[in-house]
Amino acid sequence: MDTNAFTQLMDEKFQSLQSFFIETIKSDVLSEFKKAIDTITKEFSHSIEFLSAELKDATLKIVSASKEIENLKSENSILSLKVADLTSRVSSAEQNARECNIEIDCVPENRNEIVVDIVKKLATTVSVELKDDQIRSCYRVSKMNKESSRPRSIVVKLPSSRCRDDIIAAVKKFNKSSPSNKLNSTHLGIKGEKRQIYVSEHLSPLNKSLHAAARATAKDKNMQFCWVRNGQIFLRKNDATPAVLIKNIEMLTNL
């Protein structure tokens, strides 16, 4: 065998060996790569399954929570209606207990005052005959707003709602006949700065708040009339419009 033939043979052997190693390496690399891909795929599948289970569990919890929220909303609505009904019943009972009362506001306070004498003097001023036995009780009441500088109101319990209405009507008549000198503290013999005196039906706390809100609404919306009759509050735009009975705050927002 000459040199060229030997060289050619060696080249062929080398190329054959090289091809063998390359194929072996490729096979090993591909095998390891496949194993790595399989491992990653399995781990990814497990992760997907785990996340899917977690998502399903979270979805079930959300659905359950949503149902619970709806149930709570329903229960809250029912309770709100019951509270509103009970509040209305209590207010009605409180108002009924006051149906024969008048409330006198802005009468200056004096440590030595005799409240019954103030009430009798007021009745005399507006030309109403009020006997001693008709004044079932009279007293000053605590302020709703402790910070207010206004004197405490006087509540007078009378024998009937008719007697109550007679006094209120007489006060209105007196004020109408003397627009420049309406009922005030000097008429009651109270010394000091002249203060206008107001006489009205004695309202329950809830109705008193509603009346204040109604007056504010009447002012904001240029309504001419706001009044109380038998513990009920009315508004009217003008003489040409019907009166509206105000039962709650919500009605004022819809006027």
Q: Percent of the chain beyond pLDDT 70?
A: 94
Per-residue pLDDT for 11 more than 70?
Answer: no
Do residues 217 and 176 both lie within one domain? no
Do residues 112 and 53 both lie within one domain? no
Residue 244: domain span: 204-255
Do residues 187 and 219 both lie within one domain? no
Of 35-44, 49-58, 69-78, the one with minimum mean pLDDT is 35-44
Residue 50 has a pLDDT of 87
Per-residue pLDDT for 144 more than 80?
Answer: no
3 state SS of 232: strand
Do residues 46 and 8 both lie within one domain? yes
Residue 152 has a pLDDT of 95
Report the CATH number that the domain containing residue 119 is assigned in CATH.
3.30.70.1820
| Across 32-54, average pLDDT | 86
Contact in structure between 99 and 207 (CB atoms under 8 Å): no
Cα 225 off chain centre by: 27
Work out the mean pLDDT of the chain and round it to a whole number. Answer: 90
Do residues 65 and 92 both lie within one domain? yes
DSSP state of 144: S
70-79: pLDDT as tens digits: 999 999 999 9
Residue 41 has a pLDDT of 85
Residue 159 has a pLDDT of 97
Give the pLDDT band of residue 31 (cuts 50, 70, 90). Answer: confident
Do residues 182 and 103 both lie within one domain? yes
Do residues 108 and 155 both lie within one domain? yes
Per-residue pLDDT for 25 more than 90?
Answer: no
Per-residue pLDDT for 1 more than 60?
Answer: no
pTM of the model: 0.69
Residue 145 has a pLDDT of 81
Residue 113 has a pLDDT of 95
Give the pLDDT band of residue 214 (cuts 50, 70, 90). Answer: very high
For residue 236 the two structure tokens come to 């009217």
Q: Of 88 and 218, which is predicted with more confidence?
A: 218
| Across 227-250, average pLDDT | 93
81-133: pLDDT as tens digits: 999 889 888 988 999 999 999 999 999 999 999 999 999 999 999 999 999 99
Do residues 190 and 233 both lie within one domain? no
Number of structural domains (the chain) is 3
Return the exposure string of 28-59: e unless at least 16 CB atoms fall within 10 Å of the residue's CB, then b.
eeeeeeeeeeeeeeeeeeeeeeeeeeeeeeee
| Across 129-149, average pLDDT | 91
* CA quadruple 71, 73, 79, 85: dihedral, nearest 10: -130
Residue 73 has a pLDDT of 94
Type of residue found at 204: S
One DSSP character per residue, 154-175 reads EEEE-S-HHHHHHHHHHHHHHH
Do residues 59 and 116 both lie within one domain? no
